[in-house]
Amino acid sequence: HASGAAPRSTRADVDAWWNDRLVADDDAHYDIELTLDLDSVIPHVSGPDHVKVMRSLPDIEREHVKINKAYLLSCVNARLEDLAEAARIVEGRHVAKDVEFYVAAASANVQQDAEALGHWQTLLDCGAIPLPPGCGTCIGLGAGTLNPGEVAISATNRNFKGRMGSRDAEAYLASPAVVAASAIRGYICAPTSYDDIDGRITIVRHPARSRDDVETEIVDGFPRAVAGRLLWLPVDNLNTDGIYSGQMTYRDSVTKEEMAAAAMENYDPAFAGLAQDGDIIASGANFGTGSSREQAATCLKVRGIRCVIAASFSETYKRNAFNNGFVCFECPDLVNDLRTRYADRDAATIIVGDINVDYVRST
C-alpha cells in the first residue's frame, strides 16, 4: 500500500484463519485436565509484590490488611465501566482517613465520557485524587508513587516490588470494585459478600510419558551442548521487573554495558557481583512472568548468560528470548533437585557449580 496503511482484515480472512487454526495433534498427551464451574469463581487479590500469589477476597478480608493508597487507574482497568462501578460503590461515602485514593481514566476520551455521565464527579466528591490519563504511577512515574513502608491496593496490571515506587512498599492487585471499596473502608475488602459461594473444580491428572528415548534434531550451526557455571535462583514467578527494571526499560540511551549491569538488579542487588560471563541460570516455575519487555531476555544475553533453565516459562518471555537468540529450557526435575539440595540456603542467588546442558537430549 503506497499510503503506508495496513490492509484491513475481512470476514473471509477470519474464516480462513479459523479453518486453518492451530489444533493439537491427534496423539497429543495431556498432563492435566481441568473443569471449572465459572459460576462458582470467587474474586481474588494478587500480592503483595507478585501477580501469581493470590488469595480469595473472603480470606484476605478477615485480616483487615490496612492500606495507605488505592489506585484506580491505568490502561487496563480504568475504562468507563470500571469508573462507573467504582462511582456506584463510593457514592455518598468518603475515602477512609489516612488513605489516598488516586484515579485516572484509561484515556482522555474515557474521562470525558465519565464526566458527562457524572461518574467522575462522584469519584472526586468521595475524596479521590485525580491524575491525568496515561502512564504514571503504574510504572513508578509522577505523583502518588509508593513510599517506604506503605501498602497499596491497585487496579493496575503489575505489582512487582519497586515498580510503583519504593522496594520497601507492598502492592496488591484487585478489580476496580475492590479498590474502590477498600479505599472507603481503609483495608482490603470486597464490595459485597461471597460467603455463600463454594468454588467447584475437577482435576484429572494423567501419568507422564517417558522421554528416555527422545532425541532432538539439531540444525546446522547450532551447538549440541553448552557448559557453564550454574547459578540457582530459588524462586517461582521471577518477573520481568525483577530481571530488568521498568525504570531502565523506558530509558532510550542505555548501552549494552549498562543493560548487562542492570540484569537481575531488582531481584537481587548482589547478582552483578556474583554472575560471570558464561554462567547458566536455573530458576523455578513461570520464569519471566510480567510485561512483554524483550530487554528481560536481552539483558541476560549481553551479560554473558549462556541460557536459562526453569521449571516453566512465561510464553511471552520464551518467545522474546528465542526471537533474540537466547535459549531457554524447561527442566522441572532439575529444579526440584536444586530445591531439595539447597532448601536450607536463603540467598537470592546461589552458586552451584559447573553443569553441562545436552541440547540433543532436550525435548
Residue labelled with grid coordinates 462522584: 122
Distant-in-sequence, close-in-space partners of 117: CB < 8 Å, separation ≥ 6: 80, 84
* Per-position DSSP letters for 237-276, written without gaps between them: S-BHHHHS-HHHHT-TT--HHHHHHHTTTTT-TTHHHH--
The tens-digit pLDDT sequence of the chain (363 residues) is 455 666 788 999 999 999 988 888 887 888 899 998 888 888 899 989 888 788 989 899 999 999 999 999 988 889 999 999 999 999 999 999 999 999 999 999 999 999 999 999 999 999 999 999 988 888 777 888 999 999 999 999 888 887 888 889 999 999 999 999 999 999 999 988 777 777 678 888 888 766 666 677 788 878 888 899 999 999 999 989 899 987 787 777 889 999 999 999 989 999 999 999 999 999 999 999 987 889 999 999 999 999 999 999 999 999 999 999 999 999 999 999 999 999 999 889 999 999 888 877 765
Q: Please, which residues bridge with residue 66 across strands?
A: 187
Domains belonging to the chain, first-starting first, are 39-185 (3.30.499.10), 225-361 (3.20.19.10)
Question: Where do runs of H (alpha helix) occur along the chain?
Answer: 11-19, 57-61, 80-90, 108-117, 119-125, 176-185, 240-243, 246-249, 256-262, 271-274, 295-302, 315-323, 332-341
Cβ 67 vs Cβ 178: under 8 Å:
no
Q: Return all residues near 126 (Cβ < 8 A) that are at least 6 apart.
A: 90, 91, 93, 94, 95, 101, 183, 184
The amino acid occupying position 50 is: H
Q: What is the pLDDT of residue 25?
A: 83
User: Nearest-CA neighbor of 114 among 144, 72, 158, 156?
Assistant: 72
**Placement of cell 531457554 in the chain:** 328
Of residues 347, 290, 335, the one with CA closest to residue 308: 335
Report yes or no on whether pTM surpasses 0.75. Answer: no
Give the single-character DSSP code of 38.
G
Query: What is the three-class DSSP state of 182?
Result: helix
Compute the distance between CA of residue 30 and CA of residue 207 in angstroms, rounded to an integer: 9
What's residue 210's pLDDT? 66
